[in-house]
Amino acid sequence: SARLNASGIRCTESDVITAGYAAAVYIRKQYGAQKIYAIGEAGLIHELKAEGHEIDPGRDGSWVEDSGDGGGGGSGEGWGEDAVADFVVVGLDRDFTYEKLRIGLCNILAGAGLIATNTDPLLPVEHGFLPGAGAIVRALETASGRSAFVIGKPNPPMMDAVIDHLRLPAHECTLVGDRLDTDILAGSRYGMKTVLVLSGVDTEESVRQSRIEPDAVIGSIAEVREL
């Protein structure tokens, strides 16, 4: 909300709907309160707890039991003590570690559902890009052989959460975003007016080459006020 206000767009914290919030609400509505192993940052943990979910902190220790020959092999059954969650929920985690990957994998192999808040491969920052949540999701998908259920745009759980919060019909809303394949596609699917901001991955050239067409293209979020 602070960044939007700094751009001249009035906004409060209660106006901000994140994919983490949408994930927490989706799980509660579909399955009730669940035990969750979360790979993410403080915001995701807060949203999950706020919807009544129990957070499994995980534990330290080696996944693979020592075979006794010094080679670090073993039966591979040592993951059982880690497999206690109903769902593994994955978002952006700038402190992601191999240990978190290991514990997430343990739970998925034991039957936990895999839910991704989003699968953005890149996170735009001031001077370039960082790995996005999608890079972490892909690591878990590759290791487990399972596909994540994705909450974020352009998928329905995120859009439904936004529309429910706004209490407005979709055709009266405008979606402003910086990705054609998530933001603009989501708005188009729901019949919203769409505005692409050239502050993220997409450029004027990618707009020309894409079959996804925004209603307007602007250089920065501050220009929204001029539309």
Listed as ranges, residues in the chain with pLDDT below 50 are: 60-78
Q: State pLDDT tens for residues 106-125.
A: 999 999 999 999 999 988 78
Is 168-222 the same fold as 16-58+82-150? yes
Give the span between the Cα atoms of 92 and 94, in whole angstroms. Answer: 6
Neighbours of 97 (CB within 10 A): 10
Q: Are 177 and 187 in contact (CB under 8 A)?
A: yes
**pLDDT score recorded for residue 67:** 37
Arch. (CATH architecture) of 168-222: 3-Layer(aba) Sandwich (3.40)
**pLDDT score recorded for residue 1:** 62
Q: Which of the 8 DSSP states describes residue 53?
A: P
Q: In terms of C-beta density within 10 A (0-12 exposed, 13-18 middle, 19 or more buried), how is residue 217 classed? A: middle
**pLDDT score recorded for residue 199:** 84
**pLDDT score recorded for residue 81:** 65
CA angle 117, 195, 129 (to 5 degrees): 50
Residue 202 backbone dihedrals phi, psi, to 5 degrees: -80, 150
> 16-58+82-150: CATH homologous superfamily?
HAD superfamily/HAD-like (3.40.50.1000)
**pLDDT score recorded for residue 210:** 95
CA angle 186, 196, 44 (to 5 degrees): 55
Predicted TM-score (pTM) of this structure: 0.81
Question: What are the residue ranges spanned by the domains of the chain?
Answer: 16-58+82-150, 168-222
Hey, what amino acid is at 84?
V
Q: Are 67 and 73 in contact (CB under 8 A)?
A: yes
